[in-house]
Amino acid sequence: MKPAEESTLDAFLGLVAARGFAEVALRDVAEAAGLGLADLYRLYPDKVALVGAFLARIDTAVLAGTPRAVDPDETARDRLFDTMMRRYDALRPHRAALAAIRRAAGRDPLLALALAPSLRRSMAAMLEAAGIASDGMAGAVRQNGLLAIHYAVSRVFDKDDTADLSKTMAALDSRLKSAEKWSQTIDKYVKNPASRRPDPEPDSPAP
């Protein structure tokens, strides 16, 4: 990312943290970044593009810390836990801005809809970093599942004042364990459909 893009994102996040998402206009961002409005528009045509660029910057930071090879002794849940905690570490300096964006999206369904592709792309990147496929129908389900976990954990992360984010770690671990159990149950039924059938009555003919 170029210096002008970095400084513009930083200016945007600072304004959102201080004022709230809805109260910040593109003109405000341009002024804070020392850019003309046309120059800002060439970089980021709207606030949704600014949020998307910020999420992409976080994704890149998380992926940069991903080991090149998968550790065979680690489970998929362990790898996903490590990946998401790297994400929360990268997001930590921007918690106020993130909370403001989340509140705005909660009040504005159109904003939430506009941000959805960037969020899903981020979750896909986190799955891939953990060595978990994110494509196809199964990948879409995993993206949605991880996004639901992320939303739930973010409520803890927003208020986590511990030095090592231990409250966030505990919340994430609990959610991932629950998701792992559901995933194992679904895989069992998908791989063995016969297990879904009730046992026949003793006197009834076998199907």
- For the chain, the structural domain boundaries read 3-189
pTM of the model: 0.84
| Nearest Cα residue to 33 out of 12, 53, 16, 17 | 12
CATH 1.20.1250.20 is the classification of domain 3-189: no
With contact defined as beta carbons under 8 Å apart, do 176 and 158 qualify? no
130-176 residue pLDDT tens: 999 999 999 999 999 999 999 999 999 999 999 999 999 999 999 99
103-123 residue pLDDT tens: 999 999 999 999 999 999 999
| Nearest Cα residue to 122 out of 78, 160, 84 | 84
Percent of the chain at pLDDT exceeding 90 = 80
Q: Is residue 188 pLDDT above 70, yes or no?
A: no
The number of beta carbons lying within 10 Å of the beta carbon of residue 23 is 12
With contact defined as beta carbons under 8 Å apart, do 57 and 12 qualify? no
With contact defined as beta carbons under 8 Å apart, do 198 and 99 qualify? no
H helices present in the chain, as ranges: 3-19, 26-33, 37-43, 47-64, 76-91, 95-107, 109-129, 136-157, 166-191
Q: How far apart are CA 205 and CA 199, in angstroms?
A: 11
Q: What's residue 182's pLDDT?
A: 65
